[in-house]
Amino acid sequence: MVECTASRFFPMEACNESLRGVDVVLYLGLFPPKPGEPLMKSAITHVFITVDDHDKGLDYYESVLGFNRTWDVAMDNGWRWLTVSPQGHETCNIVINKASNDAEFAIIGNQSAGDYTPVFIIETDDFQAQYEDWKAKGVNFVEEPMTMPWGIMASFRDPWGNLLLLMQSNPHFTDGRIDV
């Protein structure tokens, strides 16, 4: 028997009389477990970007990149839990972390590995439209779009200097096949 417990994926309204006495299994993963294996789910849900100002970070991710604010909670200790996610992907959150000590201030703008390894990749289903929209909004692209076997992409820097990547995957490459 699984006790009905509210969560952000399973609201309290769903915990009603109709579920009492019923075994409930809620599976949210991509691959179902094999028969006899325990149900286990794991996922990367949060990536931190450290900035010097919460509101500037929020403005960039909402107004420029078009992300949605998913959490904005002021804590008693003065800390703020602030997250955004790409539209339609609310389980993939970027935590906009305001630096609060010397170690955090030191990584602002240095979270990517130089000029070639981005902090993260933002996948789009319409690269050209997204690229043109972001360029018009002042996104600092550091290269022209390039087509590789795995897709079309272009790197850009956020206002703090971190390298990020906009990409549209080639579905044939992700399936293990490359169209030439």
Overall average pLDDT of the 34-48 stretch: 79
| Percentage of the chain lying above the pLDDT 90 cut | 59
Q: Which residues pair with 93 in a beta bridge?
A: 46
Q: Note whether residue 166 is domain-resident.
A: yes
Overall average pLDDT of the 138-165 stretch: 95
Contact 38, 27 (CB under 8 A): no
Out of 135-144, 157-166, 167-176, least confident range: 167-176
Per-residue burial over 5-25, b = 16 or more CB atoms within 10 Å of its CB, e = otherwise = eeeeeeeeeeeeeeeeeeeee
Q: Which two tokens stand for residue 115?
A: 């000029």
Q: Note whether residue 56 is domain-resident.
A: no
Give the range of the structural domain holding residue 129, as residue numbers without chain letter.
112-180
Q: What are phi and psi of 131, to 5 degrees?
A: -60, -50
DSSP result, 61-125:
IIIIT-PEEEEEEE-TTS-EEEEEE-TT-TTSEEEEEEP-SHHHHHHTT--SBTTTB-S-EEE-S
* Residue 165 burial by Cβ neighbours in a 10 Å radius (0-12, 13-18, 19+): middle
What's the CATH code of the domain at 119? 3.10.180.10
* Confidence tier at 179 by pLDDT (50, 70, 90): low
Q: What's the CA gap between 156 and 161, in Å, rounded?
A: 9
Q: Note whether residue 148 is domain-resident.
A: yes
Q: Note whether residue 124 is domain-resident.
A: yes
**Would you say residue 51 has pLDDT above 50?**
yes
Residue 180: what pLDDT?
54
Residue 13: what pLDDT?
44
The count of domains in the chain is 1
Q: Which two tokens stand for residue 174?
A: 């992700």
Give the dihedral of Cα atoms 23, 26, 31, 33; nearest 10 deg. -30
Q: Which residues pair with 146 in a beta bridge?
A: 153
Q: Note whether residue 153 is domain-resident.
A: yes
The 10s digit of each residue's pLDDT in 60-119 is: 999 999 999 999 999 888 899 999 999 888 888 999 999 999 999 999 999 988 888 999
Q: Note whether residue 2 is domain-resident.
A: no
Q: Note whether residue 128 is domain-resident.
A: yes
* Confidence tier at 29 by pLDDT (50, 70, 90): very low
Q: What's the CA gap between 144 and 17, in Å, rounded?
A: 58
Q: Note whether residue 143 is domain-resident.
A: yes
Please give the span between the terminal C-alpha atoms of the chain, in angstroms, as a whole number. 53
Residue 88: what pLDDT?
83
